[in-house]
Homo-oligomer: A and B are copies of this chain.
Amino acid sequence: MAETMRVHTLGGEDLLFLTDEQIRRGIEAMFFAYRAFTADPDLILAGMDYGRAHHRALHFIHRDPGLTVTSLLAVLGVTKQSLNRVLRTLIEDGLVESRVGRRDRRERLLHLTAEGAALERRLSEAQRARMRQAYRAAGPQAVAGFRQVLEAMMDPDTRAQYQSMKDLPE
């Protein structure tokens, strides 16, 4: 710890950001911000019989229609059963469609139905509204820094996955 303590007294104010106390502030900011980040969609979901896990599934099926259960598993980083329960209710309720793979019939290719897409849009828009407001308040430079730090924080495998995700055409 001593390694990074009070570095600014040696090297100038630039390195204040590496003191344990500044890092601790970042940790707390992360905790509080994440809570807010999930609050809006959670509120919408609360009424229905769904939760945060359903939102995440809808999000990634939307971003990559036709992905397999296994790929979704990898992106979400949960176990099969955890996802399965969520997926089953989404399919039963007609929000997600699971088509048998043509190439490999063991695979199930996941798509949103019109209804699923509608819910995804609603949840997404609630979450985006908060982000948009934060982005606007902080400005483009801050946003660039925000993204850089988040990327640097990810596990290398996750980062590679994240970076290789294509932007959605609008």
A residues with a Cβ closer than 8 A to B are: 1, 4-6, 14-37, 39, 56, 63, 77, 124-125, 127-128, 130-155, 158-159, 161-162, 165, 167-168, 170
Taken together as a complex, chains A and B put the C-alpha atoms of A77 and B155 apart, in Å, by 28
Report A27 CB to chain B, min CB distance, Å. 6
Whether A132 and B27, one on each chain, are in contact in the complex, defined by CB atoms closer than 8 angstroms, is no
Whether A131 and B143, one on each chain, are in contact in the complex, defined by CB atoms closer than 8 angstroms, is no
Given A37-B30, A125-B1, A148 contacting B158 (CB threshold 8 A): no
Q: What B residues does A145 contact at CB under 8 A?
A: 138, 141-146, 148-149
Report A68 CB to chain B, min CB distance, Å. 19
Whether B170 and A21, one on each chain, are in contact in the complex, defined by CB atoms closer than 8 angstroms, is yes
Taken together as a complex, chains A and B put the C-alpha atoms of A167 and B56 apart, in Å, by 35
Whether A135 and B23, one on each chain, are in contact in the complex, defined by CB atoms closer than 8 angstroms, is yes
- Which residue of the partner chain B has the closest CB to A136? B18
